[in-house]
Structure formats: structure tokens, C-alpha cells
Amino acid sequence: MRERLRAVRLLLAFPFKVDTYRTAGALLLIFCGQLAGVGVAIGLALTTDGAVTRSGDRAIPGIAIFCVSALLSSLGNWGSFVLQTNLLDRATLAVDLELVQLTCSIEGIEHLERPEYLDRIEHLNQNRQNLVTVPTRAATILASGLRLALTVVLLARVEPLLALLVLAGIPLLLASTRRNRKLIQVWDEVGSPTMRLQYVLRHIAGQESGAREIRVFGIQEEFKRGYTRLWNTFTAAFDRVSLGGALLEALAAAFLALAVGFGLVLVAHQADSGAVTAGNLVLVLTLISQINLHLGILAGTANSVGGSLQTAERLLWLREYAAHDGSPDRNSSSELPASLSSGIELAHVSYRYAGADADALHDVDLFIPFGSSVAIVGENGAGKSTLVKLLLRMYQPSAGSILIDGVELGDVSTGQWRSLTSATFQDFVKFEFLLRESVGVGQLDFVDETAAVLGALQRGEASELAQIRSIGLETQLGRNFADGIELSGGQWQKIAVSRSMMRESPLLLVLDEPAASLDATTEAALFEHLTGAARRASRNAGAVSLFVSHRFGTARNADLIVVLNQGRVVETGNHATLMGNGGYYAELFQLQARSYQ
Ligand SMILES: Nc1ncnc2c1ncn2[C@@H]1O[C@H](COP(=O)(O)OP(=O)(O)OP(=O)(O)O)[C@@H](O)[C@H]1O
Ligand SMILES: [Mg+2]
């Protein structure tokens, strides 16, 4: 219940926050338009009576009321429509900005891996306009209600039985509410997930890399079929509810129409016997024909408020998640030293991905001394990237703790840790920016400093890219731009590595498979540089460089080699020790060495 109230408060306040004057104006005009509609009917009745009785006393005010009401009604309806459309555009931008800000402010990335969270975010994206329509809809409900009440009073004055007509509209209201409730449910259960999956398919098919594979494997038709299947699932579920509901609504509307017909016969009969004046007959005809319409508006608007409530609850959830669950350390107070003097320790660290039935990392105990270069090796799926992401605090360990110089990482603000770390991920991003920016975003403060960007390119073994075209750093990258150049896979990887080199002395530098696309010379130079840099950094800040590699030849120079197998650390030591042990590492190393002979 408290949740509901908070959602209502949010919905009522949101448009006022976006634009107070436009919202207030729209509300005023809605009332004006609706109530003037009743004035039109009264004006018509007076005019008719005046005409029939040839009385100017009635006809002249009748015409005046009719004209003023008709003018106010058009002005109200048209003006409120324009203001509402305008408000909707502004509010959509405000909601978009809040969504971007909220999703980016979440400090971990777990919310991007849980389908149920993704569905909620998809719902928000698809229905964001729901957040800004409630005050105007509430005004429409109030004004329509008021108009109906006035209609009832006016009808009852002519014939008390006619007042009961509004009661005949109740089944229509109930049927329409029921249909809407079911539609919301279908949207939640089927709509959001299918829309999201359709987006995934569109995204793959729309990208050059996706298009390539789709053609190589000849799966164009299957893609189309898959997309259509999703579409059909969604529309079938929607149609079922819509059609079932529409049938019930049609029955309820027919019942109301019958009741209205009965009312008309009653009044026509009375008019025939002279008990009802011609003016009242016009009044009844005008008002009665609008009952159906206004009950429909009332039901439709009231129902759409139900949809808005659901969207508001999603936004409140996201706000809450961004503030607490997704960013649990907002109040963390521990400070890290500027340089490491002991090292990084993982104590009984386990991690299980959401929805997985086994740990990706299990009970990892590991000490990484300050100033060391560390290689993490292991087969595919051993847990290397997971370990890296935990160290970078993309996730919180499911069990155990990570200590930086004895300070629990969970007690340090994520912002502080992020400013002390840098990384190249296995699935790095190709930022299609200017070359300067694509590298420079690694430390945005220095993006305009040519020496800093060139230095990063040099540390990333990518200096030759600075000579690309005649404009060097100002070259637009990416084929999405008319003047953009496309790079090779290895060149993109060099840019990603250089980006992580923008921070000259991070406490922790992580490179996950940085050499997968690099040629042998560049790879050798990169690792030589890395180990050299690690040693230099160890003298300054005791920094740790950690890289993941499948090539054992590059790992052998690391100070510490960590061997992972099925989520567990099975061996640690330097190359000589591990070879001496004759264990898993030695076995893998020899296997790889043989394949090169
Ligand atoms: N986002 C995720 N959600 C669920 N499970 C995941 C996710 N990422 C990885 N896993 C699982 O966790 C395990 C470890 O994956 P991880 O990516 O850490 O392996 P890796 O050692 O880096 O492998 P590779 O050498 O292929 O990069 C795998 O079994 C994988 O299926
Ligand atoms: Mg990996």
C-alpha cells in the first residue's frame, strides 16, 4: 500500500516538476473543455424552447450560452491537446535523462545480467510516457465525472427515471477495467521479454558483424522466422485478452445502449403527451447521446492510470536499486592509501552468477604482493574474467572478501577504487569516436592533451596509429561515419589497450586477453612493456599489473602466475617453480610448447 501511495505521489508531481505552467494550463483547459460541453446542451435547450414558444427571453440567452460554451469547449479541447502534446515531449526527455542517469549510476553490472531486471528496464523504456500523463488524466476523470453528474441532475429534472441511466453504464466500466488489468498483466509477462528479445535480434542483424555470420550460415530466413515467432507470441497473447475483453465490453455497451433507447422512448412518449417541452427534449437527446461517450472516456482514462501506476512502481524500484542494492557502498568510509605497501588479498572468495547453479569462482585464496606483475592462466571457462571483474568491483563476491592492503574492498567507495584502477576487457568496446577520444576517454581529463594521448598509444604499442591519415589523432574511427575509417581487429584492440594506459599509474591495471588479436611482435613488445611498467610502478606506487593470457609464452615472465581450473586456484608461483612442480601448469605449458615445434 505504501508503495502504491509513493507511486501516486510520484505520478502527480512528475509533470509539475517538468513544467509547472504547462501542466497547470493543461488542467485548466481540460476542465474548461469538459464543462463547456454541458453548457452547449443547456444553450441548445433554451434556444429550442425560445424558438418553439417564440420567446426572445429564452432564445437570446440560449444562443449566447450556446456560442460561448461552444467556443470554450473547442478552446479547452484544442488547447489542452496542444499543451499535453508539448508537455509529453518535454517530459519524455526528462524521463529519458533520469533513466540514463540512473542506469549509469548503478555501480555494479549485475542488473544488466538478470532478465527480470532487464524486463523492468524495458518496461520503463517502452512506457515512459505513462509517467507524465496522470495529472491530466486525473483532471479528465474529474471533469468527466463532474460532467456526468451534471448530466444526471439535468436529466433527472426532466424525468427522474433517466438518472438511472448512469447506473446502466456500470457494467461497461467494470468490463473495461477488467480488460485493462489483463492487458497490463500480459505486457508484464509476455510484452517486455519479447520486445527485448526482438531488439536483440534487430541489433544482431543490423550490425556488420552479425550480418556477416547470418549470411555465411544462411540463416536469414530463420532470423525472420524467429522475429515473427516472437511477434506472434506477443500479439497472440495480446489479442486473446483484447478480443475476450472487447466481447464483454461490447455486451456491456449493448446493455447501456438498450437502457438509453428505453430512456429515449420514455421521453418521446412524454413529449408526445405534452409533458416535456421541445427544449427539454433537445436537452435529453443531446445529453443522453453523450453518456456512452463519457462513460467510455472515464473508463479508458481511469484504466490508463493503472498502467501509469505500474510504470511508476518500476521507476521507484530502479531509483531504490540504484541508491542501495545496485550500489551498496554509498556510505563506505574506508580510504585507500595512495600506494600499496602490502598487496591484494582474496580470502575465500566465491562468486556465482545470478541464475547459475554452480559457482564460477569457488573459495579462492590468493595473495598478490604489491608491485608484482601477475599472469592468470587457465582453460576456457576457468573463471579468469570473473576474477578480473570481481577485482574491478563489477560484482560483489557471493562469499569471502577482497582486501586491498588490508582494507576491505567492500568498505571503499566504488568511485575511489575506479579512480585507482584501469582495464582492458576481453570483450572491449570499439568506441567509434575520434582517435584522440577513443583513447582519451581512458582518462577524460586529459583527452585534449596530445602528449598524454600519444603516451598512452605508445604504452599500448599503438604509436603507428597516431600517424594514420594526415590528421592523426583527429581521425574519425568507425564505419558508421561517412568520413570514418574502419580498423582491423588488432588495431581496435591496440586502441582498447592504449585506453587503459591513459591512467599512468593506477594501483591495479587489468588486461583480460589483451593480445588475442595482436600479432606476435606486438604481443611480445606489449608484455615486455607491461612487465617493465609493473616493475617501475612497483617502485612508485606498489601497483599491480594483472593480465589474462592463453599463451603461456607470455605468462612465463610474470612475477606470479595464477593457474585457475574450474573456478578454483590450483597453482600459484613463478614459471620456474610451477615447471619444477610438474603439475597442471607444467602439463599445459608443455602441451602448448609442443604444438609450436
Ligand atoms: N555473465 C555471466 N552469467 C552467467 N554465467 C557466466 C557469465 N559469465 C561467465 N559465466 C560462467 O562463468 C564461468 C567462468 O567464466 P569466465 O568468463 O570467468 O571464464 P574465463 O576463464 O574468462 O574463460 P575464457 O578463457 O573463455 O575467457 C563459465 O562457466 C561461464 O559460463
Ligand atoms: Mg575470459
281 and 373 housed in the same domain: no
Ligand 1 neighbour 582 (Cβ under 6 A): no
In this structure, which residue's CA is closest to atom 24 in ligand 1?
380
β-sheet bridge partners, residue 560:
374
Rounded to an integer, what distance in angstroms lies between the CA atom of residue 554 and that of residue 528?
Answer: 9
Ligand 1 neighbour 385 (Cβ under 6 A): yes
The total number of structural domains that make up the chain? 3
Ligand 1 neighbour 358 (Cβ under 6 A): no
162 and 87 housed in the same domain: yes
Instruction: pLDDT band for 264, please (50, 70, 90 cuts).
Output: confident
Ligand 1 neighbour 557 (Cβ under 6 A): no
Instruction: Tell me the residue type at 451.
Output: A
- Average pLDDT on 572-581 reads 94
31 and 82 housed in the same domain: yes
Residue pair 429/496 in contact (Cβ under 8 Å)? The answer is yes
Is residue 329's pLDDT more than 70?
no
Kindly identify the ligand whose nearest atom is closest to the C-alpha of 380.
1
499-to-302, 390, 433, 441, 464 alpha-carbon distances in Å: 53, 20, 12, 7, 15
Rounded to an integer, what distance in angstroms lies between the CA atom of residue 136 and that of residue 152?
Answer: 24
Ligand 1 neighbour 549 (Cβ under 6 A): no
Asked, for residue 584, whether it belongs to a domain, the answer is yes
454 and 522 housed in the same domain: no
- Tell me the pLDDT tens digit for each residue of 514-530: 877 777 787 777 777 77
Instruction: pLDDT band for 383, please (50, 70, 90 cuts).
Output: very high
- Tell me the pLDDT tens digit for each residue of 163-174: 888 888 889 888
> What was the pLDDT predicted at 154?
84
Write down which residue in 481, 505, 529 finishes a domain: 505
Ligand 1 neighbour 565 (Cβ under 6 A): no
Ligand 1 neighbour 382 (Cβ under 6 A): yes
Ligand 1 neighbour 386 (Cβ under 6 A): yes
Is residue 470's pLDDT more than 70?
no
In this structure, which residue's CA is closest to atom 18 in ligand 1?
383
Mean pLDDT (the chain) is 87
The total of other beta-carbon atoms located within 10 Å of residue 261's CB is 11
Kindly identify the ligand whose nearest atom is closest to the C-alpha of 564.
1
In this structure, which residue's CA is closest to atom 2 in ligand 1?
353
H or E segment at 569? strand 568-573
Asked, for residue 510, whether it belongs to a domain, the answer is no
Write down which residue in 471, 505, 539 finishes a domain: 505
In this structure, which residue's CA is closest to atom 30 in ligand 1?
381
244 and 388 housed in the same domain: no
Task: Please give the distance, rounded to the nearest whole angstrom, from the Cα atom of residue 493 to the centre of ligand 1.
Answer: 20
Task: Please give the distance, rounded to the nearest whole angstrom, from the Cα atom of residue 115 to the centre of ligand 1.
Answer: 17
- Average pLDDT on 190-199 reads 87
Rounded to an integer, what distance in angstroms lies between the CA atom of residue 544 and that of residue 54?
Answer: 101
Task: Please give the distance, rounded to the nearest whole angstrom, from the Cα atom of residue 105 to the centre of ligand 2.
Answer: 25
407 and 478 housed in the same domain: no
> What was the pLDDT predicted at 597?
67
Is residue 331's pLDDT more than 80?
no
> What was the pLDDT predicted at 359?
96
530 and 394 housed in the same domain: yes
Task: Please give the distance, rounded to the nearest whole angstrom, from the Cα atom of residue 445 to the centre of ligand 1.
Answer: 33
Asked, for residue 570, whether it belongs to a domain, the answer is yes
- Average pLDDT on 270-281 reads 80
Task: Please give the distance, rounded to the nearest whole angstrom, from the Cα atom of residue 387 to the centre of ligand 1.
Answer: 10
41 and 100 housed in the same domain: yes
Asked, for residue 331, whether it belongs to a domain, the answer is no
Ligand 1 neighbour 498 (Cβ under 6 A): no
Asked, for residue 216, whether it belongs to a domain, the answer is yes
Percent of the chain with pLDDT strictly greater than 70: 96
Look at residue 552 and give its three-state secondary structure: helix
Is residue 435's pLDDT more than 90?
yes
Apex CA 392: angle with CA 386 and CA 397, to 5°?
Answer: 55
In this structure, which residue's CA is closest to atom 31 in ligand 1?
381
Is residue 447's pLDDT more than 90?
yes
Which range marks the domain in which residue 591 is found? 336-420+515-597
Query: Residue 388 CA: which ligand 1 atom is closest?
Result: 18
Look at residue 562 and give its three-state secondary structure: strand
Kindly identify the ligand whose nearest atom is closest to the C-alpha of 425.
2
Locate the DSSP E strands across 260-391: 343-351, 361-369, 373-378
Q: Is the pTM of this model over 0.85?
A: no
Query: Residue 567 CA: which ligand 1 atom is closest?
Result: 14
Q: At what angle do helices 115-126 and 192-206 cross, to 10 degrees?
A: 90
413 and 539 housed in the same domain: yes
Residue pair 375/381 in contact (Cβ under 8 Å)? The answer is no
Residue pair 569/575 in contact (Cβ under 8 Å)? The answer is no
Is residue 187's pLDDT more than 90?
no
Write down which residue in 306, 325, 344 finishes a domain: 325
Our measurement of the distance from residue 563's CA atom to the centroid of its chain's CA atoms, rounded to an integer in Å, reads: 38
Our measurement of the distance from residue 340's CA atom to the centroid of its chain's CA atoms, rounded to an integer in Å, reads: 38
70 and 180 housed in the same domain: yes
Instruction: Tell me the residue type at 330.
Output: R
34 and 183 housed in the same domain: yes
Query: Residue 564 CA: which ligand 1 atom is closest?
Result: 21
In this structure, which residue's CA is closest to atom 29 in ligand 1?
381
359 and 474 housed in the same domain: no
Query: Residue 355 CA: which ligand 1 atom is closest?
Result: 4
To test the pocket of ligand 1, the residue of 362, 386, 548 to mutate (highest count of ligand atoms within 8 Å of its CB) is 386
> What was the pLDDT predicted at 153?
86
Task: Please give the distance, rounded to the nearest whole angstrom, from the Cα atom of residue 60 to the centre of ligand 1.
Answer: 83
Query: Residue 379 CA: which ligand 1 atom is closest?
Result: 25
- Tell me the pLDDT tens digit for each residue of 397-407: 999 999 999 99
Is residue 235's pLDDT more than 60?
yes
Residue pair 518/493 in contact (Cβ under 8 Å)? The answer is yes
Task: Please give the distance, rounded to the nearest whole angstrom, from the Cα atom of residue 548 to the centre of ligand 2.
Answer: 8
Exposed, middle or buried by CB within 10 Å (0-12, 13-18, 19+), for 489?
exposed
Task: Please give the distance, rounded to the nearest whole angstrom, from the Cα atom of residue 387 to the centre of ligand 2.
Answer: 9
Rounded to an integer, what distance in angstroms lies between the CA atom of residue 29 and that of residue 124?
Answer: 29
Kindly identify the ligand whose nearest atom is closest to the C-alpha of 387.
1
Apex CA 472: angle with CA 468 and CA 478, to 5°?
Answer: 70
CATH number at residue 186: 1.20.1560.10
Residue pair 415/421 in contact (Cβ under 8 Å)? The answer is no
